[in-house]
């Protein structure tokens, strides 16, 4: 779509005006913002200092009033009320005098060491003497002689804040003090002091539990708010915990949601905090005035810059407009019309260069058209040759799939028939060698044919959902005899999950991997197993064969590449098995991974997507894992006690397990690195040495991070504390307490493996 043609004069004028205006407005805006920032900082600091002074004054007033009450209570408690002349009547007169001196005292109690009331004085209730009832007030039991102890503030009648002051009386001469003097102080005096902070600010008080206990608004007292999550409270508590003496102002919002600046002052005698809030709009007023002046200057400067740039842009636009019209003609294919421009400056030189460029472009355009015609003819011819070659290759593959396999099949049948009729031992040995050669030739021919089909794109996957156990059963039946003939042990671990793939192509991949594992393993075992990897199933083939050097791990997937130790025997193949596996896995979209160490064996892994099971593909329910199925498990035993470690190793070996042992976390990690196969189970003690802080649970977490897999584990320990159980539950680890018999250990392992199977069913079903 062609863009609309606008007058160049208008475009240049607008651009020039915008450029000058942006620069001018940017400088003015930067200056105005800087002035606003410093103005705001100064106003904020001034408000903070003023609020700090006001809050400190009120805090001193409240603190002094409370200290006066404390002094009165201490003086009263010093009297030897148990001596002659100091009876309850005399004490009652003294308490009444205190209530006259301090209007904030709502009630006064004298309690014995059992909390029974001896004397009660109140402003609202009749006085009692020697009543002997238990006091219902939350009286603290930590009061000492000569020291006033504050209780936690509480609300009476839903909105009246009170606090208890308790002091231990001096007692009779020669005896320890037992009675306590308890004062119920009405905190209305605090609310009155806060109300005197009128104007634009607002003050409130919270106790040591961060509850609102005094506020100018009565409705807030009724709500009894919990303030510990408010930012100004958290900042003040953090500053006090850090040892700060002066608390900085904090920007926050008040209880009505309005933006404020809050200043806090601590009351050290009680642990309470006094907050004074100032509306942020008051602080911002000088900065807003600065913003108004700056905005006016920016608008005036922008208007002047736009007028000046529009006039200058009009002068520059005319020659540039002529150049633009000339470039439009060249873009449309007209290379013959020159540009006439006489300005005596760089624009005239630009016009000359544009004329020269137009002349050369015309010549190159003509030559390019001739080259395009020639190359098009060559490409058409090459495409026809490629199509004929592709058709020939397809016909060859079709013929090889049927016609060439037929005579090879016939040769195999004839060799078998000939072997059954030969009686001479010498001729029978020759027939046996001939049969082996035919088998090798058929296998090599099939590999060549498979790799050719994959290269030609003649293989199209047909994925479906099926139970992986069917595939594992076919693999076990196919290679069981070959493994026995080679003197190897073939272990195929069962799996109840359901996957989504092309069963034929996936079976071909696994068959090649198992065949390679048997071919390059001289002694030991080949294991086929499955592990869950999130929403995928990792199908693994482990062997204890010759292994693959690290520098050859990439080369083994190329055609006709064989390991150096395998090139002496023609039965090892042409080196096409692994290339076929990799190309088939890429065709199926399955990731493939290999790990190997020379002399220890190899592990090949295919990641296949999981699917939910359905009625037609769900395996029949099975019983839990039996003792026979413990055979073949790879178990890692970790214990710093040599006797325990050797006993567990012998027991697991008796069960038919492959066992690795370690005495510490470092040895366990080294054992995991030394074995190509990830352990199926970890048996470990909790304590792994008295000289280290490591234990079995931390070692297991490190093992799981290294293996990238939640390895099932059993902790065998003598610890019975709840902390061990909680840590083990967090890591999903089974705990067995010593002494643990062999039967208990076997049942625990079977239960753990049953749980692992159940999780697989839950994930897939």
Map out the domains of the chain with their CATH numbers.
53-280 (3.30.450.20), 333-457 (no CATH), 460-611 (3.30.565.10), 627-764 (3.40.50.2300)
Determine if the peptide bond prior to 693 is cis (ω within 30°).
no
Beta strands 272-279 and 160-168 are unpaired
Q: How far is CA 227 from the centre of its chain?
A: 31
Token output for 41: 């900082």
pLDDT for 175: 46
Structure tokens at 529: 């197993």
**What SS3 class is residue 265?**
strand
Q: Please tell me the distance from the alpha carbon of residue 430 to that of residue 428, in angstroms, as a whole number.
A: 5
- Please return the burial class of 697, using the count of CB atoms within 10 Å of its CB with bins 0-12, 13-18 and 19+: buried
pLDDT at 538 > cutoff 80: yes
d(CA 590, CA 583): 10
> Residue 575 is encoded by which pair of tokens?
């080196």
What tokens were used for 54?
């006001």
Q: Find the range with the poorest average confidence among 234-238, 665-669, 735-739.
A: 735-739
How much helix, strand and coil, in percent to the nearest 5, is found in the chain?
50, 20, 30
Look up the pTM and report it.
0.40
CA 167 to chain centre: 54
- 270-298 burial: b if 16+ Cβ within 10 Å, else e: bebbbbbbbbbeebbebbeebbeebeebb
47-51, 587-591, 742-746: which is most confident: 587-591
Per-residue confidence band for 354, with pLDDT thresholds at 50, 70 and 90: confident
Can you tell me whether residue 576 is helix, strand or coil? Answer: coil
Q: Which helix (H) or strand (E) holds 756?
A: helix 742-764
On whether the CB atoms of residues 478 and 510 are closer than 8 A, the answer is: no
Q: What is the pLDDT of residue 625?
A: 45
CA distance 730 to 654: 32
What pLDDT, on the 0 to 100 scale, is given for residue 283? 66
Q: What is the pLDDT of residue 136?
A: 52
Look at residue 131 in the predicted model and tell me its pLDDT.
64
Q: Which of 534, 575, 530, 545 is nearest to 557 (CA)?
A: 575
Helix (H) or strand (E) holding 263: strand 259-267
Residue 56 phi, psi (nearest 5):
-65, -40
Tell me the C-alpha distance between 602 and 546, whole Å.
8
Token representation of residue 537 = 């199933």
Instruction: Give me the pLDDT at residue 691, please.
Output: 64
Determine the pLDDT at residue 174. Answer: 44
pLDDT at residue 689, rounded to an integer: 73
Tell me: the pLDDT tens digits for 292-323? 777 777 777 767 766 776 676 666 667 777 77
On average, the pLDDT of the chain sits at: 77
Question: CA 679, CA 669: separation in Å to the nearest integer?
Answer: 11
Residue 657 and residue 633 in contact, taking contact as beta carbons nearer than 8 Å: yes
What average pLDDT does the segment 53-74 reach?
A: 83
pLDDT at 130: 72
Q: Over range 718-724, report the average pLDDT.
A: 68
CA distance 347 to 9: 16
Contact of 210 with 272, CB cutoff 8 Å: no
């Amino acid at each position: 779509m062609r863009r609309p043609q606008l007058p160049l004069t208008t475009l240049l004028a607008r651009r020039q005006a915008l450029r000058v205006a942006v620069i001018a407005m940017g400088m003015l805006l930067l200056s105005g913002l800087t002035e606003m920032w410093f103005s705001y900082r100064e106003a904020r600091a001034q408000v903070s200092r003023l609020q700090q002074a006001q809050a400190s004054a009120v805090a001193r007033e409240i603190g002094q009033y409370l200290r006066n009450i404390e002094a009165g209570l201490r003086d009263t408690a010093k009297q030897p009320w148990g001596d002659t002349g100091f009876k309850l009547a005399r004490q009652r007169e003294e308490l009444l005098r205190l209530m006259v001196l301090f209007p904030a005292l709502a009630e006064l109690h004298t309690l014995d060491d059992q909390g029974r009331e001896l004397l009660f004085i109140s402003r609202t209730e009749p006085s009692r003497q020697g009543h002997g009832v238990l006091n219902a007030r939350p009286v603290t039991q930590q009061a000492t002689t000569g020291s006033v102890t504050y209780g936690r503030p509480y609300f009476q009648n839903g909105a009246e804040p009170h606090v208890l002051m308790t002091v231990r009386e001096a007692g009779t001469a020669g005896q320890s003090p037992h009675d306590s003097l308890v004062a119920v102080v009405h905190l209305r005096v605090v609310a009155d002091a806060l109300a005197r902070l009128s104007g634009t600010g607002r003050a409130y008080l919270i106790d040591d539990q961060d509850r609102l206990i005094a506020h100018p608004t009565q409705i807030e007292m009724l709500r009894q708010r919990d303030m510990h999550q408010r930012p100004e409270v958290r900042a003040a508590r953090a500053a006090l915990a850090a040892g700060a003496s002066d608390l900085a102002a904090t920007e926050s919002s008040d209880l009505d949601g309005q933006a404020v600046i809050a200043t806090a002052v601590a009351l050290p005698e009680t642990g309470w905090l006094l907050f004074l809030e100032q509306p942020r709009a008051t602080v911002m007023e000088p900065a807003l005035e600065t913003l108004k002046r700056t905005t006016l200057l920016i608008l005036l400067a922008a208007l002047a810059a736009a007028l000046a740039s529009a006039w200058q842009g009009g002068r520059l636009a005319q020659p540039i407009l002529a150049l633009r019209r000339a470039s439009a003609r060249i873009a449309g294919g007209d290379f013959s019309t020159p540009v006439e421009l006489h300005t005596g400056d760089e624009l005239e030189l630009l016009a000359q260069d544009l004329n020269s460029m137009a002349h050369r472009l015309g010549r190159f355009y003509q030559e390019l058209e001739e080259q395009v015609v020639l190359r098009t003819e060559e490409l058409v011819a090459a495409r026809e040759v490629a199509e004929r070659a592709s058709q020939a290759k397809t016909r060859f593959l079709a013929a090889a799939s049927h016609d060439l396999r037929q005579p090879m099949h016939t040769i195999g049948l004839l060799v078998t028939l000939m072997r059954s009729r030969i009686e001479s031992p010498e001729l029978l040995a020759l027939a046996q060698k001939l049969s082996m050669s035919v088998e090798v030739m058929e296998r090599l021919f099939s590999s060549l044919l498979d790799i050719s089909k994959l290269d030609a794109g003649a293989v199209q996957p047909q994925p479906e959902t099926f139970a992986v156990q069917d595939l594992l059963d076919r693999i076990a039946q196919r290679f069981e005899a070959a493994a026995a003939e080679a003197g190897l042990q073939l272990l195929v671990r069962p799996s109840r999950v359901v996957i989504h793939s092309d069963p034929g192509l996936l079976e071909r991949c696994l068959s090649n991997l198992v065949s390679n594992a048997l071919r390059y393993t001289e002694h030991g075992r080949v294991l086929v197993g499955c592990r869950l990897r999130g929403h995928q199933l990792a199908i693994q083939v482990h062997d204890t064969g010759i292994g693959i050097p690290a520098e050859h791990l990439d080369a083994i997937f190329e055609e006709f590449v064989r390991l150096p130790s395998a090139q002496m025997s023609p039965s090892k193949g042409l080196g096409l098995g692994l290339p076929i596996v990799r190309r088939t896995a890429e065709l199926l979209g399955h990731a493939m991974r290999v790990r190997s160490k020379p002399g220890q064996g190899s592990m090949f892994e295919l990641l296949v997507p999981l699917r939910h099971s359905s009625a037609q593909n769900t395996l029949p329910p099975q019983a839990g894992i039996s003792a026979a199925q413990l055979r073949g498990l790879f178990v890692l035993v970790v214990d710093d006690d040599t006797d325990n470690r050797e006993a567990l190793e012998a027991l697991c070996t008796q069960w038919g397990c492959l066992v690795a042992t370690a005495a510490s976390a470092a040895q366990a990690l080294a054992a995991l690195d030394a074995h190509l196969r990830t352990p199926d189970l970890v048996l470990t003690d909790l304590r792994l040495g008295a000289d280290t802080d490591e234990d079995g649970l931390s070692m297991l977490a490190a093992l799981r991070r290294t293996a990238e897999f939640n390895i099932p584990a059993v902790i065998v320990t003598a610890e019975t504390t709840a902390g061990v159980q909680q840590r083990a539950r967090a890591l999903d680890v089974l705990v067995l307490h010593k002494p643990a018999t062999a039967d208990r250990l076997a049942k625990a392992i079977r239960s753990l493996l049953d749980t692992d199977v159940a999780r697989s069913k839950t994930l897939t079903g």
